[in-house]
Amino acid sequence: MTTTTPAPKTLDPAHFGGGERHWHPFTPYSDEVELKIFTADLARNETVVLLRAKAGAQLGVHDHFGRVLAYSISGRWSYAEHDWVAAPGDFVYEVANSQHTLVADPAEDIVLFIYVEGPIHFLDGDGNVVGVETAKTFAERYLGFCREHGYPEPDLFPF
Amino acid sequence: MTTTTPAPKTLDPAHFGGGERHWHPFTPYSDEVELKIFTADLARNETVVLLRAKAGAQLGVHDHFGRVLAYSISGRWSYAEHDWVAAPGDFVYEVANSQHTLVADPAEDIVLFIYVEGPIHFLDGDGNVVGVETAKTFAERYLGFCREHGYPEPDLFPF
Amino acid sequence: MTTTTPAPKTLDPAHFGGGERHWHPFTPYSDEVELKIFTADLARNETVVLLRAKAGAQLGVHDHFGRVLAYSISGRWSYAEHDWVAAPGDFVYEVANSQHTLVADPAEDIVLFIYVEGPIHFLDGDGNVVGVETAKTFAERYLGFCREHGYPEPDLFPF
Amino acid sequence: MTTTTPAPKTLDPAHFGGGERHWHPFTPYSDEVELKIFTADLARNETVVLLRAKAGAQLGVHDHFGRVLAYSISGRWSYAEHDWVAAPGDFVYEVANSQHTLVADPAEDIVLFIYVEGPIHFLDGDGNVVGVETAKTFAERYLGFCREHGYPEPDLFPF
């Protein structure tokens, strides 16, 4: 098999130090929820991001139009619409056609590692769409934050 | 817009407690590398998994045929083929057509959260393929471990 | 390698006869554009569909939030926003963050085979969103059409 | 909603004329099966391709490690391992962990439009892997064919 296998050595993995990225507020949805964007794929609408929320914070109800894979690094959190509570070390697999409201436990700040596919619609109390989040809006929010603070613009689009 | 938007409330997210899954050795590649499988998608060949390696452990050279998104939870690690060292809080984005050897730093055990797409070919020192890992082999290894230890078989296929 | 390779023989391919599906109008956007849905994936928001439009028909401006892969089977068509004309045998690769208006050439009806990822927002002349199409709305439109006409409901969700 | 929606107008669709690509033999598997590659994604291991096989041709048994979506444009074909026959206008959805042998009906040449995810392992009569096809090998075969015949090299990697 050695001779017919392609030699898949062309592409290098991309390494992103957590310290190379800045926490920035998830405006306009909350001042208590912050993001750290690792990568965004504009053609596919995919984003890799850390989310940090203050103890007791909420992130308004939102509709998913793709998958979200979330790993709990610290703190406890839940969705107002469901019974379980996610603790550090837990994994939550969300899919399109789901809708929920994130609630951080009051005891401790939370940090999640999240892989997002597709857009997310944020809703007001009457079910009206007040914002559509995509890989592009995630990237633009962070790049705007970097410009505002005089930070060098990171490369969010490695592939 | 409210009237024409579909009400995407049909599907619930799936929550997996870290304590609901068992660490099991990544046989036959290493006794010092353990896995904890959250979910596997047999139709798409995708796996969500925690990997834990003992300080100083190595995981033999392997070829990627899809993407691997890895978040560093604890410990420091590197690829023998590259210069960077991943620390807790770092993110590594690997793609198809890459090949590397995982090396855990001798100072501390490592834990990674990993989303795997596609198969991985493990190679011996001469470049021969000695194992092909897929969502199916990941799932079967863990289900076999559960049977062997009398644990109830977890549902690895939520969607 | 034979002994270590998993035997990936578990899952069968799903075959869908074109005659097993019905053309139905792409309401409320156009009476001159029809769809034939092969499969929909509600968890991923993906749809596989044939689109047929009458010679000279238009499909209103829409925003993409994911990829669309379109193969031209018959007829010529274009996007009002771009210079090229797609002929039978051509392939068009669309990505998230694109917006366009489909125009069928007046000489002949068109038929396209399309793989859709993510939602599509249809806009009115002022840029307001008048409809959000997803795998769920594609499936529900067709299942409603089948019920209305007394056709047996097809299985749109094979995997 | 207009003010908060991002204006997703950045990326243009890519149009590929069927006449811009060349049929080339699917070496070394068959002289009677030809390919026409539209695009390849090396990071994701995805390929968009037309396949043409002579009436009565076979394409040896192969294992899938990802999805294959195939639309029948002309001719009738089947898999030796399954009972159905695909006719023009039919759609076949294949997934990882499937294995089969393509057989073109003796009456007519076949043409398929195919979206391929992940690698494909071709096997000999004893189940040994004799070739691993990826987006990279698909691209390299075609680029080599172009060089050999003095054709300009096409851009297979639009995104």
Secondary structure in 3-state letters for B36-49: EEEEEECCCCEEEE
Whether C1 and B129 have beta carbons less than 8 Å apart is answered as yes
Structural tokens at position A61: 């109800």
* Residue A106 burial by Cβ neighbours in a 10 Å radius (0-12, 13-18, 19+): exposed
Q: Chains with ≥3 Cβ pairs under 8 A against A? A: B, C, D
Whether B34 and B25 have beta carbons less than 8 Å apart is answered as yes
Backbone angles phi, psi at D2, to 5 degrees: -55, -40
Q: Using one digit for the tens of pLDDT, what is the confidence trace for B54-84?
A: 999 999 999 999 999 999 999 999 999 999 9
CA angle C98, C104, C110 (to 5 degrees): 105
Whether C76 and C85 have beta carbons less than 8 Å apart is answered as yes
Structural tokens at position B3: 């009237």
Q: Using one digit for the tens of pLDDT, what is the confidence trace for D123-133?
A: 999 999 999 99
Residues D97, C11: C-beta atoms closer than 8 Å: yes
Task: Give which of C137, A106, D44 is closest to B10, Cα–Cα.
Answer: C137
3-state class (DSSP) for residue D26 = coil
A48-57, C89-98, D1-10: range with lowest mean pLDDT: D1-10
Measured on CA atoms in the order C19, C36, D112, A6, is the torsion positive or negative? negative
The C-alpha torsion from B141 through B145 and B148 to B152, rounded to 10°, is -110
Region B5-10 average pLDDT: 44
Task: Give which of D159, D146, D149, D150 is closest to D21, Cα–Cα.
Answer: D146
- Which of C29, C46, C47, C136 to probe the B interface (max B CBs under 10 A)? C136
Tally of residues, chain B: 159
Per cent of chain B over pLDDT 90 is 90
Q: How far is A6 from chain D (nearest CA, A)?
A: 7
- Predicted local confidence at residue A5, as pLDDT: 38
ipTM (interface pTM): 0.93
Whether A11 and D43 have beta carbons less than 8 Å apart is answered as yes
Q: Using one digit for the tens of pLDDT, what is the confidence trace for D84-121?
A: 999 999 999 999 999 999 999 999 999 999 999 999 99
User: Hunting for tokens 């306009």 — which residue is that?
Assistant: A28
Tell me the CB-side half-sphere exposure of residue A144, using CA atoms within 13 A: 9
* Residue C18 burial by Cβ neighbours in a 10 Å radius (0-12, 13-18, 19+): middle
Nearest by CB: D43 against B1, B43, B67: B67
Which residues in chain B are closer than 8 Å to C11, comparing Cβ atoms? 42-43
- CA distance linking residue C135 with residue C117, whole number of Å: 8
Asked whether the predicted pLDDT for residue D9 surpasses 80, the reply is no
Whether the bond into C28 is cis, omega within 30 of 0: yes
Nearest by CB: B4 against C42, C130, C136: C130
- Predicted local confidence at residue D139, as pLDDT: 97
Residues from A contacting C (CB-CB < 8 Å) are 1, 42-45, 65-67, 95-97, 117-119, 129, 132, 134-136
Q: Chains with ≥3 Cβ pairs under 8 A against C? A: A, B, D
Cα distances (angstroms) measured from residue B30 to each of A32, A41, A75, B98, C102: 43, 34, 32, 21, 55
- Predicted local confidence at residue A9, as pLDDT: 46
Which band of pLDDT confidence, cut at 50, 70 and 90, is reported for residue B11? Answer: confident
Structural tokens at position A23: 């926490």
Q: Which residue has the higher pLDDT, A2 or C72?
A: C72
Residues B8, A79: C-beta atoms closer than 8 Å: no
- CA distance linking residue A129 with residue A125, whole number of Å: 10
Measured on CA atoms in the order D35, D41, D45, D48, is the torsion positive or negative? negative
Name the pTM for this structure: 0.94
Asked whether the predicted pLDDT for residue C2 surpasses 60, the reply is no
Whether A62 and A153 have beta carbons less than 8 Å apart is answered as no
Task: Give which of D85, D82, D87, D77 is closest to D98, Cα–Cα.
Answer: D82
Asked whether the predicted pLDDT for residue B33 surpasses 50, the reply is yes
Residues A128, B87: C-beta atoms closer than 8 Å: no
- CA distance linking residue A66 with residue C28, whole number of Å: 24
- Predicted local confidence at residue B8, as pLDDT: 36
- CA distance linking residue C25 with residue C47, whole number of Å: 16
Region A46-59 average pLDDT: 98
- Predicted local confidence at residue B3, as pLDDT: 34
Task: Give which of D145, D140, D133 is closest to D22, Cα–Cα.
Answer: D145
- Predicted local confidence at residue A1, as pLDDT: 34
Which chain D residue lies closest to A159 (C-alpha atoms)?
Answer: D43
Which residues in chain C are closer than 8 Å to A135, comparing Cβ atoms? 96
